[in-house]
Amino acid sequence: MPKKVVTRFAPSPTGYLHIGSARTALFSWAYARHTGGDFLLRIEDTDRERSTEDAVQAIYDGLTWLGLQWDGEPTLQFGRAARHAEIASELLARGQAYYCYCSPEELATMREEARAAGKPPRYNGMWRDRDPSEAPAGVAPVIRIKAPLSGEIVVDDHVQGKVVFKTENLDDFIILRSDGTPTYMLAVVVDDHDMGVTHIIRGDDHLTNAARQIIIYNGMGWDVPEMAHIPLIHGPDGAKLSKRHGALGVGAYRQMGYLPDAMINYLARLGWSHGDDELFSVQQMVEWFSLEGLNKGAARFDFVKLENVNGHYIREARPEALYKVMVETAREVGREVDHEGLLANRETALAALPELQPRAKTVLELIDLAQFIYAVRPITVDPAAAEHVSGDARALLAAALEALRGLNDWSVPAIDAAVRALAEVHGLKLGKVAQPLRVALTGRTVSPGIFEVMVLIGKKESLARIGDHAA
C-alpha cells in the first residue's frame, strides 16, 4: 500500500498571513485532501522578537477564513528546540557534524580571502578535521554539518525538475548555534521528519535550502520527502509582489469584502491549472488537484481579475449567506451604522439582495448599495449626484410625487406604469425621470432598479424621500 500523504504548511508568524503563503497552504491542503492524506500546520516561531501571539493568531484566522483546516494540533517549532539539539548531537556522534570554534575575526578573514579569490564567501572547513583537543578555552562552539566535499546534490522536484547543486557550492553550514539553539535549516528537517511529512510544497525561494536540507537528511539516514518548489508571485509589473502593488495580508482581503471561495479560486489559478478552467469550486479543485498541474512560470497577481472573480462569487452566492457576511464585515471594519441598519432590516436586505448582487464586486460595495434600505431622512446625497435633484428636477419630482401618491397598488408594474406615463406627459425619456427619483430615494446615481427600491422601502418612505427634494 502506498504511504499516506502528509503535507505541511510551515509559516513564520510575521504579523499577517501573506497571500503568497496562503497560496502555498492551499496547494499543500489540496494535495492532502485529494489523496486522502493529512495536512499539518507548523508555526515556525523561532524568531522570538517577531513571533507574537497576535501574529500566530493571524495565521489561524487566515487559514480558517479560507477554509484550509489543518489536521491535528499545530506544531510550535520553538518548543521543539531540545529535540533539534538532540539531533545535532546525533549527527556529531555519527561523524556527520563537528564543533567549530572559529572566532568572528577568523570568519571575517575567511570571507575576505574568498572575496579576494573571486569566490563566494564560504566557510573553509577550518575545524572539519581538527581534533577537539585543540579547542580554544572559554569558547562556546557552534555545530556545523559535514557537507560532502565533491559530487552533486540533486533536488528531484515536482515543479522544477531535476535541479543539480555542486557540493563545492554548499559549505559546512551551522546547524546549532553556540547558545544551543537550532538554525532554521536543522529545525525544518527535524520537524518535517518527526511529523512524517511525505511532500513538501513551498516557495522556490527555498530551493537552495532544499539542497542543504538533503545533506542533513542524508547525515541522519532519513528518507528525503518529495518536493515541489513553486514560483513566487509577482506583481502586475513583473516585479516581486510587494506592498506597493496592493494589500498582502489575507485579512485585508476579508476586510475589503472578498469572499473566501473567490480567494481560493483566484489563488488556485495563480500557479496551478486544470485545462482552461477558470472558475471552479473548492470541491472541484480538490478533485482535480495534482502536483503536475503546478506551473513552472512565475505568476502575476492581477488585482482586477481577482475583483472580477469575486464579483462572480457574489452573484452566485445565496442571499442568506451574503447577508451574514455583510453584517460581519460591516462590524469588522467599524461601520456601525451599516451594521445596525442591516441587522434591523434583515427581511428587506434579503429581498433586495438579488437586485444588488449583479451590481457589486465586493461585499463593501454591496453594503454601500444596501444603504438606501436603512438611510435616515433627509438622506445624504452624494455630491456627484446632487445636480440630479436641483433646478428643474425639483418640479419634476413634485409631479412624480403627485402621480405616485395616487397609486393604490404599490407594485413594480404599477409604479413603472405611473413613472412612464409621467415621462411621456413631460416629453422626457424614462431615464430623465428615473435619475432624479434614484438620487432622491438613494442619494446615489447607482442603485438597484428604482421601482424595486420603492417597493422595498415602501410607499410612505418613498413618498417622504421624494418629497424632501420636490418643489
- For binding to ligand GLU (CB under 6 A), which residues are involved? 10-12, 44, 188, 202, 206
- Single out the residue of 465, 471, 414, 418 nearest to residue 441, CA to CA: 465
Query: Which residues are designated catalytic?
Result: 243
Q: How far is the CB of 44 from ligand GLU (least distance, A)?
A: 4
Q: Which is closer to ligand GLU, CB of 10 or CB of 342?
A: 10
Q: Which is closer to ligand GLU, CB of 10 or CB of 233?
A: 10
Q: What letter would DSSP give residue 170?
A: S
List of residues 6+ apart from 272 with CB closer than 8 A: 27, 289, 293, 294, 295
Q: How far is the CB of 226 from ligand GLU (least distance, A)?
A: 14
3-state helix, strand, coil in the chain (%, to 5): 55, 10, 35
Q: Which is closer to ligand GLU, CB of 202 or CB of 388?
A: 202
Q: How far is the CB of 330 from ligand GLU (least distance, A)?
A: 33
- Grid coordinates standing for 174? 551551522
Contact status, residue 124 vs residue 110, Cβ threshold 8 Å: yes
| DSSP labels, 8-64 | EE----SSS-BHHHHHHHHHHHHHHHHHT-EEEEEE----TTT--HHHHHHHHHHHH
Q: Which is closer to ligand GLU, CB of 20 or CB of 311?
A: 20
Q: How far is the CB of 46 from ligand GLU (least distance, A)?
A: 9
Based on the number of CB atoms within 10 Å of its own CB, is 236 exposed (0-12), middle (13-18) or buried (19 or more)?
middle
Q: How far is the CB of 283 from ligand GLU (least distance, A)?
A: 26
Q: Which is closer to ligand GLU, CB of 71 or CB of 382?
A: 71
Q: How far is the CB of 333 from ligand GLU (least distance, A)?
A: 28
Please list, residue by residue across 40-62, b when 16 or more beta carbons sit within 10 angstroms of its beta carbon and e when fewer do.
bbbbbbbeeeebeeebbebbebb
Q: Which is closer to ligand GLU, CB of 206 or CB of 432?
A: 206
C-alpha 245: how far from its chain's center? Answer: 14
CA geometry: angle 282, 288, 289, nearest 5 deg: 85
Q: How far is the CB of 70 from ligand GLU (least distance, A)?
A: 14
Q: What letter would DSSP give residue 380?
A: P
Q: Which helix (H) or strand (E) holds 7?
A: strand 6-9
Q: Which is closer to ligand GLU, CB of 58 or CB of 401?
A: 58
Q: Which is closer to ligand GLU, CB of 212 or CB of 269?
A: 212
- Grid coordinates standing for 242? 510587494
CA distances from 73 to 9, 42, 115, 244 (A): 13, 9, 47, 36
- Grid coordinates standing for 18? 501573506
Longest dimension (CA), the chain: 108
- Grid coordinates standing for 306? 481577482
| CA 363/CA 121 separation, integer angstroms | 52
Q: How far is the CB of 140 from ligand GLU (least distance, A)?
A: 26
